[in-house]
């Protein structure tokens, strides 16, 4: 399953290897521009614990995330909050780990594996962590 339903977090989460490759893109990677917004909370500016708390506040705050699906990825030096405000299928690159997520929309988000097969759903209003390790695509506004 692509989702967690309240299971405890592991002691250490995998860290996404950024190097310019941690992305969420529509269509063919490398040809289409990124269409998913993001916000960074760096450890050097906030400290790791505070950066994580700020990222979680953004994900779960309706006034911050807006009418969107928001989630977190940890990178070596920061937490990045992704905001999916578009309709369509989004290709994810290098998403890993179990991180806070919140669907502020009134539609179901669909998770797809590397072949485009549905492996999980995330209903309207849901606010549980998502395990990104098997998720390669997200379909928004299905």
Global confidence as pTM = 0.79
The span from the CA of 35 to the CA of 26, in Å, is 7
Confidence of residue 30 (pLDDT cuts 50, 70, 90): very low
pLDDT digit string, tens, across residues 71-102? 999 999 999 999 998 788 888 888 999 999 99
**Between 121 and 94, residue with greater pLDDT:** 121
32-49 confidence digits (pLDDT tens)? 444 588 899 999 999 999
Show the beta-strand stretches assigned E in 5-68.
Answer: 23-26, 37-42
User: For position 17, what pLDDT does the model report?
Assistant: 60
Averaged pLDDT score across all residues of the chain:
82
- Whether residue 78 contacts residue 48, with contact meaning beta carbons closer than 8 Å, is answered with no
């Amino acid at each position: 399953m692509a989702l967690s339903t309240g299971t405890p977090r592991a002691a250490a989460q995998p860290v996404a290897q950024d190097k310019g490759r941690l992305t969420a893109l529509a269509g063919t990677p490398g040809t289409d521009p990124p269409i998913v917004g993001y916000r960074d909370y760096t450890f050097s500016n906030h400290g790791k614990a505070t950066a994580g708390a700020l990222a979680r506040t953004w994900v779960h705050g309706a006034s911050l995330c807006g009418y969107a699906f928001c989630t977190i990825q940890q990178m070596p030096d920061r937490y990045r909050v992704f905001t999916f405000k578009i309709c369509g299928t989004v290709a994810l690159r290098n998403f890993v780990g179990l991180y806070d997520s919140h669907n502020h929309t009134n539609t179901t988000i669909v998770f797809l594996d590397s072949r485009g097969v549905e492996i999980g759903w995330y209903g309207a209003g849901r606010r549980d962590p998502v395990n990104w390790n098997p998720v390669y695509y997200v379909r928004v506004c299905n």
